[in-house]
Amino acid sequence: MMVTTYSSVTERLLQSTEEHHKIDDFKRHIPRWCTGCGNGGILTAMQKLCRDENLPRENTVFVSGIGCSSRFPHYMNAYGFHGLHGRALPVAEGIKMARPDLHVFVNTGDGDCCSIGAAHWIHAIRYNMDMTVILHDNNIYGLTKNQASPTSPIGLSTNTTPRGSILEPLNPLLVTLGIQNASFVAQTVDWIPELMYDILSKAYHHKGLSFIRVLQRCPEFVPDMFQAWMDEPVTTRLLTHENGLSVSPALSRTYTNQEVHDPSNMDRAREIASLKDQVPVGILYRNDEIPCYEDVREPDRLQTSGGVRDVLEAEFDNFTIWPEN
């Protein structure tokens, strides 16, 4: 049997990045989501993206808060941080600031991001750090069993709104488009996996914070929430553009309601985000010229594992008790 040896950790890491990963390499544990949950489609799309981009697992991190969607790091065979409710974004920002070379993904729900985490969401958009943020929006608190969320529609009966929700739902797309330094805003749905994958891929390659809202089914508590849109494809408006999505002929035959939308047009992006009788799918806004916070703050710094070790060793030396001769 031939045994391969490596002269250094660096050589081994370089070798690992040259290996071609299979989709099974990114699978970890059996998902515990309900049968038919839209989170499963998001997970599959993400695992396909990691495979196709051949991301080194030791340089890839998934960060989440609390909620059904936030179990995501448990099911990705990479580094992960399952944080506190609403705190996924500041954790991810800290990781990216310390290690700007890492691929950082954030998975958050409509309660986790838009309620308790709303302040962090606003400032994360403003910082525009280079990471991909996926908002799993099913319009309900699922993990804590059927309470109204900030995106629940008027009239929805839940455990906290038994007579029906009375507040107009928050629109995550409009909120994000209204924050200074928004650089990539998109929306997709879990029942069109081809487009969800394409949008994730475009988001990953964007230099800056990519915010993707995924309308995601919850078969347990709101099984009919998006059924009308699924039954009537004409209510889905596909946003196409040479700098956005390109739709396959097969999808075009089903989803005929299409608009050529230039994602650099902020005014039109806000108009599209305001639609109530249709669901837009595609890239609403993109601006590649907005600087990333980590580059502005410390443009010449790249913390490698060796650099981190040297800093720690120097710090430990401050507290070394040397033996007396």
Contact (CB, 8 A) for 78 and 61: yes
Least confident of 3-12, 224-233, 271-280: 3-12
Q: Which range, of 107-121, 207-221, 222-236, 298-312, averages the lowest pLDDT?
A: 298-312
Please determine, for residue 200, whether its predicted confidence score (pLDDT) is greater than 90: yes
**How much is the pLDDT for 1?**
42
8 pLDDT above the threshold of 80: no
Confidence check: pLDDT of 6 > 70: no
Query: Which of 65-69, 261-265, 296-300 is predicted least confidently?
Result: 296-300
| pLDDT tens-digit series, residues 114-163 | 999 999 999 999 999 999 999 999 999 999 999 999 999 999 999 999 99
Per-residue H/E/C for the chain: CCCCCCCCHHHHHHHHHHCCCCHHHHECCCCCCCCCCCHHHHHHHHHHHHHHCCCCHHHEEEEECCCCHHHHHHHECCEEEECCCCCHHHHHHHHHHHCCCCEEEEEEEHHHHHHHCHHHHHHHHHHCCCEEEEEEECCEECCCCCEECCCCCCCCCCCCCCCCCCCCCCCHHHHHHCCCCCCEEEEEECCCHHHHHHHHHHHHHCCCEEEEEEECCECCCECCCCHHHHHCHHHEEEEECCCCECCCHHHHHHCCCEEECCCCCHHHHHHHHCCCCCEEEEEEEECCCCCCHHHHHCCCCCCCHHHHHHHHHHHHHCCCCCCCC
What mean pLDDT value characterizes the chain?
Answer: 91
User: pLDDT, tens digit, for every residue of 12-63?
Assistant: 555 555 678 999 999 999 999 999 999 999 999 999 999 999 999 999 999 9
- What pLDDT sits at residue 318? 80
236-280 residue pLDDT tens: 999 999 988 989 999 999 999 999 999 999 999 999 999 999 999
Domains of the chain, start order: 33-225+261-313 (3.40.50.970)
Q: Which residues of 45-78 are buried (b: 16+ CB within 10 A; e: fewer)?
A: bbbbbbbeeebbbebbbbbbbbbbbbbbbebbbb
